[in-house]
Amino acid sequence: MVLNTLSHLTCLSRKSYKVLFISCHSFISMSSSQSPALYDVVVVGGGIVGVATARELKLNYPKMKICLVEKEKELGMHQTGHNSGVVHAGIYYKPGTLKAKLCVEGMNLAYEYFDKRNIPYKKCGKLIVALNEQLEPLHDLYERSIQNNVKDVRLVSAEEIKTIEPYCKGVKAIHSPNTGIVDWGLVTRVMGEEFCELGGEIRLNQQVESFKENPESVTISTKQGDHLESSYALVCAGLQADEMALKSGCSLEPAIVPFRGEYLLLNPAKQHLVRGNIYPVPDPNFPFLGVHFTPRMDGSVWLGPNAVLAFKKEGYRWRDFSVRELFSTLRYPGFWRLGLKYTRYGSKEMIMSWFPSMRVNELKQYIEEIEAGDIQRGPSGVRAQALSSSGDLVDDFVFHSAGRTLHCRNAPSPAATSSLAIAKHILNELRREFKLDELSSR
């Protein structure tokens, strides 16, 4: 095998953090599919789950040659870099599920990691606030949090709500003091830096186009002309998870249907009205958590998000449109079955997207001082919602293997909070599917 590699090393400073990006453009000529693999494991996808797992692999197998491939110019540019920045405590999730376990475990690991790597964060806490008709679901949610072993949660009265959030009104609330906020994009870049420090390699601006199975390896080819040969591959592609799976011979299901969450920004003059996270009691009849108040590390306050269909998987605005991707969504039977379940809810969300001032009445239920003139359109994110053909939202992890490639088809929210715990779980999946210990001992 003849290998000519041109490596470009770029150091960027982000909030006093020196984050190393390695962009390598390799031109590989393979004389035989029996040639030794260039890498032991290639990880496709530079979101927080992919980066955390690449780091976990390198920590456990320091002698392995591991490469992470990302199609963007920077790590964490999609779901990771467009989320609310909340560090979740694990309150909402069904007791006994992997999702609940990994969130609670992941939050503890996350705070340890922030302290170890000097990443700024705030444990600003969270209130889940009940209005008069919501006491029963609030108590159900509290019982769920106890079963999930969420630390330090308690029920607080209307009077106690005022001591925590002076401008918030409600009859009762769950208080989670360990819920926090952080810049998850920064966390991902710091993880990427650590992965490189451990000897890992990151290739940016490389869009994977195909996977080719060989007797002793898999070849990952990119749109830019690279051909990466590896003993095994792991794909954590988020919004592109179903398309990547199709490329290696897996089925379409579960398909990824993109839902855009649009945030509003609170007038800086009113930011003092919100100290920590304020959430409504979620309606069990709908799949999303409802509009909430989220403080950010830069001092701003986000209000939202809503949930509307995106016309493109990376469609952060209404005008972002892909005929191919939209057609793929519309022809998927699961999408129409989901739409029939939530026609009224979906229609309401779309109307409020067009007329954001209509959200004010919802917001005023919790903080009366907010007026229509206090809000403006803010940033958006797109959620990679895995959907079955029956129209059910997939709420658990889905892994599919194709030869020497393992696809993480769904890493459900809150994937950022859970990322370090998810990485450990995926490592166990890799050990189960592939012979990592045997490979590392060569």
CATH of the domain at 69: 3.50.50.60
Q: Would you state the structure tokens that stand for residue 272, as one six-digit string?
A: 């003092």
Give domain status of residue 90, yes or no: no
What is the chain's mean pLDDT, rounded? 89
Mean pLDDT, residues 19-30: 30
Give domain status of residue 192, yes or no: yes
Same domain, residue pair 192 and 78: yes
Distances (CA, A) of 217 to 118, 157, 232: 39, 60, 6
> What residues form DSSP beta bridges with 399?
408
On the 0-12 / 13-18 / 19+ scale of CB atoms within 10 A, 88 is buried
Q: Count the domains in the chain.
A: 2
Same domain, residue pair 336 and 315: yes
Q: Is the pLDDT of residue 104 over 80?
A: yes
What's the pLDDT score for residue 287? 64
Give domain status of residue 316, yes or no: yes
Distances (CA, A) of 422 to 181, 239, 390, 427, 432: 19, 17, 27, 8, 15
On the 0-12 / 13-18 / 19+ scale of CB atoms within 10 A, 426 is buried
Mean pLDDT, residues 158-165: 97
Same domain, residue pair 80 and 197: yes
The model's confidence at residue 276, banded by pLDDT at 50, 70 and 90, is very high
What's the pLDDT score for residue 342? 87
What's the pLDDT score for residue 197? 97
What's the pLDDT score for residue 6? 27
Same domain, residue pair 322 and 385: yes
Helix (H, G, I), strand (E, B) or coil at 284: coil
Give domain status of residue 233, yes or no: yes
Last residue of a domain, one of 357, 374, 391: 391
Give domain status of residue 165, yes or no: no
The model's confidence at residue 4, banded by pLDDT at 50, 70 and 90, is very low
Q: Is the pLDDT of residue 172 over 60?
A: yes
Mean pLDDT, residues 28-35: 33
Give domain status of residue 372, yes or no: yes
Host domain of residue 190: 37-85+183-254+394-441
Same domain, residue pair 349 and 408: no
Backbone angles phi, psi at 132, to 5 degrees: -55, -40
**Digit-coded pLDDT (tens) for 379-422:** 999 999 999 999 998 888 899 999 999 999 998 889 999 999 99
What's the pLDDT score for residue 289? 74
What's the pLDDT score for residue 37? 53
Same domain, residue pair 259 and 345: yes
Report how far residue 340's alpha carbon sits from residue 336's, in angstroms, rounded to the nearest whole number. 6
Higher pLDDT, residue 258 or 8? 258
Mean pLDDT, residues 163-185: 97
Report how far residue 39's alpha carbon sits from residue 34's, in angstroms, rounded to the nearest whole number. 14
Lowest mean pLDDT: which of 24-38, 41-55, 79-93? 24-38
Same domain, residue pair 314 and 387: yes
Same domain, residue pair 262 and 340: yes
Same domain, residue pair 210 and 75: yes
Q: Is the pLDDT of residue 40 over 50?
A: yes
Same domain, residue pair 312 and 398: no
Give domain status of residue 161, yes or no: no
Same domain, residue pair 201 and 260: no
What's the pLDDT score for residue 15? 35
Mean pLDDT, residues 308-337: 94
Mean pLDDT, residues 175-179: 98
What's the pLDDT score for residue 22? 32
Same domain, residue pair 190 and 259: no
Q: Is the pLDDT of residue 8 over 70?
A: no
